[in-house]
Amino acid sequence: MSQNKPFKIFFSAGESSGDQHAASMFMELKKHQPDIKGIGMGGVKMEQAGIDIRYNSSAIAVIGVIEVIKHFGEILRTLKAMRKLLLAERPGLLVCVDYKEFNFKLARFAKQNGIKVLFYVSPQVWAWRPGRVKKYGAVIDMMAVIFPFEVPYYEAERVPVRYVGHPSVDKVHPQRSKDEDIQLFGLSTAKIVVGILPGSRRNEIDRMLPVMLAAAHELQTKFPGIHFLLPQADSIPDTLLAEHLRSTRLMITTIKHKPYDVIQCCDAIMTTSGTASLEIALLGVPMVIAYKLAPLTYWLGRVLVKIPYIGLPNIILGKLAVKELIQHEASAENLVAEISKILTNKPYAEQIHEDLHQVKQRLGKGGGSKIIALLALKMLAS
């Protein structure tokens, strides 16, 4: 490849976790191909990594049937704009990072127009609609999966697949020691610290943060001197959190850009499902997973989802290692009960520690961002 025409990759990431995965991948790409160009849709992390972000994905980072319907017009406009940009830029490779329905349509368009497609982070075909494996196989050139148990689903249908490792294994490392963080955050080793992780999407914050704050108020009464930490996701604006925290009387500290330092300081954590629960597991902190969806989305999930768990640690282990509180069970009362049990029942907390260690073991040694970057370069060169 000549200096006048460097490799160009088009990225499409629609959520906070995808933004992080794509950013890590691009930083690895630049190590091996310094003049590589990145362009597309994403968020803050991708922009910081050097990708030319033409469309910010925060406005369409929604989950659930009702939420998608509400934002359908904006999602459709963005999809049309991305298709137009694809044709204008003619990249050597389109990398679709998660955000399955949007990226499926974008991948199909790219294939129809002779652009190679690498899909990074498999749709959860193992959880629901396994028949979609063939459909994805028709619109991609390679599926890069981040869990080893996903490979057989694609191999069975002869869809090109590569297990590249989970990027969180490399990424989830605090910047400082726990003692340094305790001092930095104004904590005390003699006091209990509980984390509040209400999600990285606006609708998650609106649905889950009030419940978690109500639980925190009860815990503050039950455990005098308890301190709460809330790591603010990059995709969540200050104004949104301020709306929810304005009237609180909690001893709570909101911290930006240091999620893993926050997590390691906690004795227990209330979290939503998704990547956050896996990151907490990798740091070995006992947690309770709580999640609420719009009623219709929840009902459809009950009908369509074929696995018994929603939390990634539990899915990986194939057992309920971490308590899950879903929909009506995601109440302040139940959150208080589970966090209290973790804080007061030492054998119970130790068993969770042991199970979370197994999660880390099963994901392997890491190197996922490097592996996916090398795979992309191989596809570009072929």
- CA 204/CA 329 separation, integer angstroms: 16
User: Where are the strands (E) in the chain, listed by range?
Assistant: 8-13, 37-42, 52-56, 93-97, 117-120, 142-145, 161-163, 193-197, 227-232, 252-256, 268-271, 287-291, 324-326
Tens of pLDDT along the chain (382 residues) come to: 444 567 999 999 988 788 989 999 999 999 999 999 999 999 999 999 999 999 988 777 655 555 566 667 788 999 999 999 999 999 999 999 988 889 999 999 999 999 999 999 998 776 566 678 999 999 999 999 998 888 998 999 999 999 999 888 988 999 999 999 999 999 999 999 999 999 988 888 999 999 999 999 999 999 999 999 999 988 888 999 999 998 888 999 999 999 999 999 999 999 998 889 999 999 999 999 998 876 666 665 665 566 788 899 999 999 999 999 998 999 999 999 999 999 999 999 999 999 999 999 999 888 999 999 999 999 999 8
User: What is the third-level CATH fold of 178-363?
Assistant: Rossmann fold (3.40.50)
**Domain layout of the chain by residue ranges:** 8-165+367-381, 178-363
Q: What is the pTM of this model?
A: 0.76
Token readout for 284 is 């070995």
178-363 shares the fold of 8-165+367-381: yes
pLDDT at residue 295, rounded to an integer: 64
What are 225-266's pLDDT values in tens digits?
Answer: 999 999 998 888 899 999 999 888 899 999 999 999 999 999
Within its chain, how far is the Cα of 308 from the centroid? Answer: 20
Position 129: which residue type?
R
| CATH number at 8-165+367-381 | 3.40.50.2000
Give the side-chain half-sphere CA count within 13 A for 350.
3
- CA 216/CA 228 separation, integer angstroms: 8
- DSSP secondary structure string for all residues of 86-150: HHHH--SEEEEES-HHHHHHHHHHHHHTT--EEEES---TTTS-TTHHHHHHTT-SEEEESSGGG
- CA 84/CA 81 separation, integer angstroms: 5
What are 279-291's pLDDT values in tens digits?
Answer: 999 999 999 999 8
pLDDT at residue 170, rounded to an integer: 87
- CA 60/CA 349 separation, integer angstroms: 38
